[in-house]
Structure 1
Amino acid sequence: MFSDRTKDILSNKVWLVTGASGYVGSELCKKIKADYPHIYLIATDVKAPNHHWYDEFITSSLEIPDNEVVQKILTSKIDLVIHLAGVAVEGWCFENPFQTCEYNIRAVYILLEAIRKSTYSCSMILSTTDKVYGRDATQIKPYLEDEPLVAKNIYETSKICADLISQSYHLTYQIPLAIVRFANIYGGLDKNSSRLVPRTIQRLQNGLTPELRLTKSGQEYTRDFIHISDVVEGIIVVAKALLEQKPNIIGEIFNISSGKEYRVRDVLESIISVFNPGEKYVEIEEGVKYLEIVNQCASNNKMKQLLGWEPKISLIDGLLMIRNEYGDQL
């Protein structure tokens, strides 16, 4: 149920979510329409999503100047843009650097410029990634939001550019925005086989041996895994704070993460224990062509301290949710 304060903040508000047919976008739209019916939701993407969790849909390529979304921002009252569109598969980005920059950089400053020129007051949330920090991180020394951003591969570079351009638009033009940097997201109906969780489940379902990928030298990866439901809740918490115009939120950056460093081996074994106990897996020393961070962990203390948010779903509970909710749909 809504509190009276939350009703006041959300009543008659218009939110625009880009990338609405994507993994995070579709889950966010579903949550908004289920739990926040007072919000008028405009969804956008290059193709129509396979869901109907929106009030209005715009088909548009964001990297094209004066696109339909830009025109909507310039001519309509939109209170909040949540920008989730872009490409996030590092291997694809390595093979397609030009398109990566178009989707992940150009689209961002086109949106920001539309917001700057709009006659209505519009806030924005930009989504990026913990990979912008560039360095290896551990739970003892996790990523903090005020650290320098260090680019290696083209994906990280594109996200850093979007991040810095957004910060510049806030500082220069006072656009009310916040930046959220995601850790490794899992859960929900994620079918992207480049990611550990769906790939391992898909292999188990197809009678194939799960694979543990190591670095070319045999080093083990660690990652910070967070369930999609916690990510969506985190985005909405930031959104509410922006709409309240809290001065300690506007212009700020937030890691949305579990704050835990998981060995990928342990996660793989947990997946097997949930979906097919006793199954064996193989180790593969498979160096990738692009530079890849080996150890990752992002602090979520800022989200806890300023917004009272923290993740609720443990890794095992998240895997059980996938099994119980989606079964063999992955």
Structure 2
Amino acid sequence: MSASTPPAAPATPPAPAGPDPATFWAGRRVLVTGGCGFGGGHLVIRLVALGAEVSVLDRDPGQEGVLAVDPARSRVDVREGDVRDEAAVAGALRRWRPQAVFHLAAQPLVPESVRAPADTLAVNAGGTYTLLEAVRRVDHVAAFVFASTGGYYGENHDDRPLHEDDPARAAANLYGASKIAADVAVQAYARTFGLPASVCRFMNTYGPGDRQTSRLVPHAIRRLREGGPYDFGERDDGTTRLDFLYVGDMVEGYLRVAERLARHPGGCYNFGSGRPTAIREVARMVSEAYDGVAREPVFRGPHRVRPLVKSLDVTRARTELGWTPAVPLAEGIARTVRYATAGPPG
């Protein structure tokens, strides 16, 4: 079976129909932290298209992400602010009075977490605590949705898809540790204070406009554009198999979770393809999408006797949210490469 073949139809029944997004989000006030970044930008653009009144708090609002070049930007109130700043966070909630908060602000890069562990922990864990404290002191937030990570489950070496009830495992890096701390905090606030909050655990999100070349797909595109060796360095030997999720599917996951919070208590949800793909194969797919040439990627990491493997069980998202990944890996990579080589449409 090819990496781009959609999963077989599930045996479990789909979720009951939820609210119509076209009417649910129309006129709804929404705050997105980190909304000028890669995932946040895509989420903001989708919310604007659905008619939401969107505001963004971002410590780097001038970054050249997907939102900066999209017409939706003119319809969004963007303010500079750090989620670690109690006054900035409280002021944002007071000014915009959001009904839904999507918390995506984070230091998202593993290499950066090694270089600057204190900042990573302060932003990812401390910033989440600051935002949770501010949200629980107001009465207008009906949904708090947190962007967590599949790194919650640590390193794995078997093919069993990981379930939301699996425990957090020792993090492989400081980024993972910081996100686990934030993930657990959101769950604790929901239980302790009745906060209408849910956690979304995503695996290796990729898509148009991602500029972070420490991640596999943007790194591959940069190498191809430079025309040099198709080299992926010493972080891996190429055998690691991971779940990859297209950014548009991630956005739909966020929306489904927030829509459910309007009717039910929160919970934790996995989002992924449900099928791990070797990163060497993903690199080959990027090369073929770029110019039709099947280059052999170079991975110079130490050989692993037991390859790392990680995929997420998405049964809960399917049955409770009616969510399934819509974009196969090959198609998502093709869209990503087209955006990188031709620029955004229009």
Does the 8 Å CA contact 2:57/2:92 hold for their aligned counterparts? no
> Partner amino acid for 1:122?
A
Residue 59 (structure 1) aligned with residue 80 (structure 2): yes
- Shift of residue 237, structure 1, vs aligned partner: 1.3
Paired residues for 1:219-234 under 5 Å: 220-234=239-253
Give TM-score, length-normalised by structure 1: 0.88
Does the 8 Å CA contact 2:30/2:53 hold for their aligned counterparts? yes
Deviations 1:129-188 (A, max 9, x none): 0011013154x4011111110133211111010011111100000000110011001111
Equivalent position SS for 1:179? strand
Count of aligned residue pairs for this structure pair: 314
% of aligned pairs identical? 25
2:327 to 300, 305, 313: 313
1:40 to 34, 53, 63: 53
Paired residues for 1:250-269 under 5 Å: 250-269=265-284
Q: RMSD between aligned alpha carbons? A: 2.3
1:187 to 207, 227, 245: 207
Give TM-score, length-normalised by structure 2: 0.84
Equivalent position SS for 1:128? strand
- Shift of residue 286, structure 1, vs aligned partner: 2.7
1:5 to 1:284, Cα distance in 2 relative to 1, 3 A: closer
Deviations 1:115-140 (A, max 9, x none): 111133432001010011013154x4
- Shift of residue 277, structure 1, vs aligned partner: 3.0
Equivalent position SS for 1:283? coil
Does the 8 Å CA contact 2:148/2:199 hold for their aligned counterparts? yes
Inter-partner Cα distance in structure 2 for 1:306 and 1:31? 22
- Shift of residue 299, structure 1, vs aligned partner: 1.3
Inter-partner Cα distance in structure 2 for 1:278 and 1:6? 41
1:74 to 1:55, Cα distance in 2 relative to 1, 3 A: same
Inter-partner Cα distance in structure 1 for 2:137 and 2:272? 33
Inter-partner Cα distance in structure 1 for 2:100 and 2:152? 24
Does the 8 Å CA contact 2:238/2:279 hold for their aligned counterparts? no
Which deviates the most, 277-286 or 129-138?
277-286
Inter-partner Cα distance in structure 2 for 1:4 and 1:26? 23
Residue 323 (structure 1) aligned with residue 342 (structure 2): no
> Partner amino acid for 2:263?
Q
Does the 8 Å CA contact 1:82/1:126 hold for their aligned counterparts? yes
Paired residues for 1:104-123 under 5 Å: 104-123=124-143
Equivalent position SS for 1:284? coil
- Shift of residue 204, structure 1, vs aligned partner: 1.0
Does the 8 Å CA contact 2:221/2:337 hold for their aligned counterparts? no
2:41 to 18, 26, 49: 26
Inter-partner Cα distance in structure 2 for 1:277 and 1:219? 21
Which stretches in structure 1 are left out of the alignment for 5+ residues?
288-292
Inter-partner Cα distance in structure 2 for 1:311 and 1:33? 22
- Shift of residue 16, structure 1, vs aligned partner: 0.2
1:137 to 1:84, Cα distance in 2 relative to 1, 3 A: farther
Paired residues for 1:198-217 under 5 Å: 198-212=218-232
Inter-partner Cα distance in structure 2 for 1:240 and 1:66? 29
Deviations 1:283-324 (A, max 9, x none): 33236xxxxx93211111111111111011111111221233
Paired residue for 1:290?
none
Inter-partner Cα distance in structure 2 for 1:58 and 1:251? 28
Does the 8 Å CA contact 1:74/1:115 hold for their aligned counterparts? no
Inter-partner Cα distance in structure 1 for 2:299 and 2:120? 28
Inter-partner Cα distance in structure 1 for 2:163 and 2:233? 27
